[in-house]
Amino acid sequence: MIQQLIQKIQKTKAPICVGLDPMLSYIPEHILKKSFQEYGETLEGAADAIWNFNKEIVDHTWDLIPSVKPQIAMYEQFGIEGLKVYERTVRYCQDKGLVVIGDAKRGDIGSTSAAYATAHIGKVQVGSKAYSAFDTDFLTVNPYFGTDGVKPFVDVCKAENKGLFILVKTSNPSSGEFQDKLIDGRPLYELVAEKVVEWGADCMDGEYSNIGAVVGATYPEMSAILRKLMPKTYFLVPGYGAQGGTAKDLQACFNPDGLGAIVNSSRGIIAAYRQEKYAKFGAEHFAEASRQAVIDMVADINSVL
């Protein structure tokens, strides 16, 4: 699976993913109005607006990018109707040839993690038939439970040729509260990183493992250490743009081969039209603003590689 992502990155020359994390407040008035007219101010109405918003952004950016990362929480908050749009967005992006990273940060004891792995990257058996539920290409995973909580995800990756990005060092301000704590002189995130390498060792797909890591753009000195500790691990890098990470901060996440990292931007792309820089597009042409924001982001990142 990681090779599919790498090939798409090489073809588009764009080591990025677009975070499809729609908030109703990002959605232009004309889209909301149309959906609310059809469905009322209901969960169906909200879901319809999100779908129309997502579709237009994907239609305007898919040829420039290798992948998208829908954040399931943004859909889950609208209940069943929201999750239907998550599923529909995943399918639509895959039909456009995009690699889809399901950002769900799941993780639990073994038997429960097995159910989550089935839900998001595997197949569920119903009598003599097998079905895929959300079926993304990659899934983000939380490591707090340790090996037996992560192993079921890794096993499904092997069986189905899928991939993971496991939280190592997250991009948020208080990520250091537990993740940076020193254990025998080394921060917890380094211990997690070593486990990620161990879990990924027999999931190699070419030069890289299908088991990747989440490494925030907001802590570049730590990225440099992690890059050395995990040379064959792909990094999913959140925190660029709206969260404060710059292109310069990203350099340390890449290997000398120019590979090794995929940088996410959510708000910075999908709500670009609300930035002064892209205001000229106007809310009606929000997806064109997103396209321009993708072009600018790719140029910005490539300028430091």
User: So which residues are the catalytic ones?
Assistant: 105
Pairing assessment for the beta strands 211-215 and 208-209 based on DSSP bridges: unpaired
The residue behind tokens 């058996």 is 125
Both tokens of residue 272? 């670009």
C-alpha 196 chain-centroid distance: 17
Q: 84 or 96: whose CB is closer to a second copy?
A: 84
CB of 196 to a second copy, least distance (A): 12
Residue 262 parent element (H or E): strand 261-265
CB of 258 to a second copy, least distance (A): 28
Q: 33 or 280: whose CB is closer to a second copy?
A: 33
Contact 153, 164 (CB under 8 A): yes
Contact 288, 60 (CB under 8 A): yes
Give the whole-angstrom CA distance, residue 142 versus residue 119: 16
Q: 201 or 304: whose CB is closer to a second copy?
A: 201
CB of 201 to a second copy, least distance (A): 16
CB of 131 to a second copy, least distance (A): 6
Q: 174 or 303: whose CB is closer to a second copy?
A: 174
Contact 122, 87 (CB under 8 A): no
Give the whole-angstrom CA distance, residue 211 versus residue 201: 8
